[in-house]
A and B are shown apart, each in its own frame.
Chain A
């Protein structure tokens, strides 16, 4: 098989706070192939954004610290490269879209100003050429009247438009990997669909790999090729999207899928996973999910389950599978 575009091995990130050490990520492995859209699902606070940010070393230090592990991008360990090389990778090779379209653009400059700034910096063109590139990109994200948009300030655009501007901006440098950290969470459903369609279409056309983070399983199902499920700082299951939805293995994934409200099935009341996400300062021993798990048995509260391949391409970290 080809070398994967991004390969994360054993990544651990901790935050040192006054209350104690937050183990935000523990030994996380993740691979993204070229041209693939990888979904990352999990509840609020399980470490999705930390994972996304640590790929670009955007964790605020202090209090955060990358404790160990490797993130290979095209064979180069991002965690070890010089600051100069890191800046080249950011934007040129990997770019990122954030959750809040409202505050992702600088309010005192026009959209055109900010887009051109990025294009000029990364592609070494003059401002007229940059403008053309920006207009092209805005057309690709289906913005009406791109020339007009360029001279507007961020506050004059709606959330959906701003997010499309962000997509255009991040893709204008033709990165190999796009990290999208809940790009549609702050948008309402109709706009969300629009933005997702545009993102999907554009990404497939340009052949960009995407790490798509969301807590919305519906969105994941629509967009992604493979999905990783995260729970309390660990990845508990990974599978091609249809395998995961058809036959979830980990009890947590199972619970997540059960908790989607459905219109055409009479399922009353909605099933929920009991309890809440554990604090990551003192996470539960053994499997981190065991206090909430409805199928826990003997080893769960003291043995950490390994992440193993149960079926082809379907990985799971749970004592129910395998022979341990």
Chain B
């Protein structure tokens, strides 16, 4: 069976390895990949890597500055910030990646349907999206998260919902341009269904901008999720989460700079990592630049 599979998909397999080789040759792809890899690795092996228990309170050491014992210092109840960042990677990456997958997937499909079918359906969908966009994202996410009940998964759903219109709008715009191309007419002339055209012709042509938007939105996502945690609707304390740490640490910024700075730096690194990796991936996957 395996040999048959290999024979039938020989070309796809070749192309896959070709993509990997191109990625390896592209410096920003490698840099982005290294950053993402470090974050994921940290998240997976936090239990072994972290020097302390992330929720262990030691009041004698509260708000101590970075030292050899506590590399990134400690917070207001004496928990080690480095350990909390390591465990926090689990939560923050999960939020970021899940939100982007849900929002990007739903948004792209909604946008493509809207743009391709046009007319009344387009109007209806876009007005609904406008309604969602008319709320401040944080307020809407907050209301949704509150309605669903405070938990991390509900917060993810709430943030994803708020992000859908951004993807939908952009993909709709792209779909409007792509659907006028002649290969769409050619596909219709060969008897393709609307759904087939949306999945096989519209969406793949919008793929590159979706990747870019996803990497850009990732940072915002982590921050909104953090704000939700801050008011008690996202990750529940004492669960370490980067955004929540930044939010709390903000109060101490004047005197204890390390509290908010280090988690903030990790959010920044993650965003940059995904961003440059996404950018390189887009270039490599675009057949017009590929060869």
Which A residues form the contact surface with B (CB < 8 A)? 56, 58, 62, 86-92, 95-96, 98-100, 103-110, 112, 117-118, 121-122, 126-128, 151, 153, 155-156, 166, 169-170, 173, 179
Decide if B287 touches A98 in the complex (CB within 8 Å): no
Q: How far is the CB of A303 from chain B (nearest CB, A)?
A: 38
Decide if A107 touches B190 in the complex (CB within 8 Å): no
**Roughly how many angstroms separate A89 CA and B191 CA in the complex, as a whole number?**
7
A-B contact pairs, 26 of them (CB 8 A): A56-B189, A62-B119, A87-B191, A87-B193, A89-B191, A91-B190, A91-B192, A92-B191, A98-B189, A100-B182, A104-B182, A104-B186, A106-B200, A106-B205, A108-B204, A108-B205, A109-B204, A109-B287, A121-B190, A122-B191, A128-B7, A151-B11, A153-B287, A153-B288, A153-B291, A155-B288
Which residue on B lies nearest to A170, using beta carbons?
B190
**Roughly how many angstroms separate A179 CA and B185 CA in the complex, as a whole number?**
13
Residues of A within 8 A of B201 (CB): 106
Which residue on B lies nearest to A86, using beta carbons?
B191
Known: A96-B186, A109-B200, A121-B190. 5 other contacts (CB 8 A): A58-B185, A91-B189, A95-B189, A108-B204, A155-B287
Which residue on A lies nearest to B196, using beta carbons?
A121
CB of B255 within 8 Å of the partner chain: no
Closest 4 CB pairs of A and B: A90-B191, A91-B190, A91-B191, A96-B189
Q: How far is the CB of A231 from chain B (nearest CB, A)?
A: 25
B166-197 residues with Cβ-Cβ distance < 8 A to A are 181-183, 185-193
**Roughly how many angstroms separate A90 CA and B291 CA in the complex, as a whole number?**
34
**Roughly how many angstroms separate A169 CA and B205 CA in the complex, as a whole number?**
21
**Roughly how many angstroms separate A179 CA and B291 CA in the complex, as a whole number?**
33
Residues of A within 8 A of B52 (CB): none
- Interface size class of chain B, counting residues whose CB lies under 8 Å from the partner chain: 20 to 34
Decide if B186 touches A108 in the complex (CB within 8 Å): no
**Roughly how many angstroms separate A153 CA and B287 CA in the complex, as a whole number?**
7
Q: What 0/1 pattern do residues 2 to 39 of B give for CB contact below 8 A with A?
A: 00000110010000000000000000000000000000
CB of B207 within 8 Å of the partner chain: yes
Which residue on A lies nearest to B12, using beta carbons?
A113
Decide if A98 touches B291 in the complex (CB within 8 Å): no
Residues of A within 8 A of B192 (CB): 87, 91, 121
B189-232 residues with Cβ-Cβ distance < 8 A to A are 189-193, 200-201, 204-205, 207
Q: How far is the CB of A116 from chain B (nearest CB, A)?
A: 10
Residues of A within 8 A of B187 (CB): 106
**Roughly how many angstroms separate A87 CA and B183 CA in the complex, as a whole number?**
16
Q: What 0/1 pattern do residues 62 to 104 of B give for CB contact below 8 A with A?
A: 0000000000000000000000000000000000000000000
Which residue on B lies nearest to A57, using beta carbons?
B188
**Roughly how many angstroms separate A95 CA and B192 CA in the complex, as a whole number?**
12
Decide if B190 touches A90 in the complex (CB within 8 Å): yes
Decide if B183 touches A106 in the complex (CB within 8 Å): yes
Residues of A within 8 A of B181 (CB): 103
**Roughly how many angstroms separate A98 CA and B182 CA in the complex, as a whole number?**
8
Residues of B within 8 A of A106 (CB): 183, 187, 200-201, 204-205
**Roughly how many angstroms separate A126 CA and B9 CA in the complex, as a whole number?**
12
Among B183, B188, B288, find the residue whose CB has the most chain A CB atoms closer than 10 A: B183
Residues of A within 8 A of B183 (CB): 103-106
Q: How far is the CB of B120 from chain A (nearest CB, A)?
A: 11
**Roughly how many angstroms separate A118 CA and B205 CA in the complex, as a whole number?**
19
Residues of B within 8 A of A110 (CB): 287
**Roughly how many angstroms separate A151 CA and B7 CA in the complex, as a whole number?**
15
Among A104, A153, A170, find the residue whose CB has the most chain B CB atoms closer than 10 A: A104
Decide if A98 touches B205 in the complex (CB within 8 Å): no
Residues of B within 8 A of A90 (CB): 188-191
Residues of B within 8 A of A112 (CB): 11
Q: How far is the CB of B19 from chain A (nearest CB, A)?
A: 14
Q: How far is the CB of B204 from chain A (nearest CB, A)?
A: 5
Which residue on A lies nearest to B188, using beta carbons?
A58
Q: How far is the CB of A114 from chain B (nearest CB, A)?
A: 8
**Roughly how many angstroms separate A117 CA and B200 CA in the complex, as a whole number?**
10
Decide if A166 touches B186 in the complex (CB within 8 Å): yes
Residues of B within 8 A of A108 (CB): 204-205, 207, 286-287
**Roughly how many angstroms separate A58 CA and B7 CA in the complex, as a whole number?**
39
Decide if A98 touches B185 in the complex (CB within 8 Å): yes
Decide if B182 touches A103 in the complex (CB within 8 Å): yes
Residues of B within 8 A of A151 (CB): 11
Which residue on B lies nearest to A87, using beta carbons?
B191
Q: How far is the CB of B285 from chain A (nearest CB, A)?
A: 8
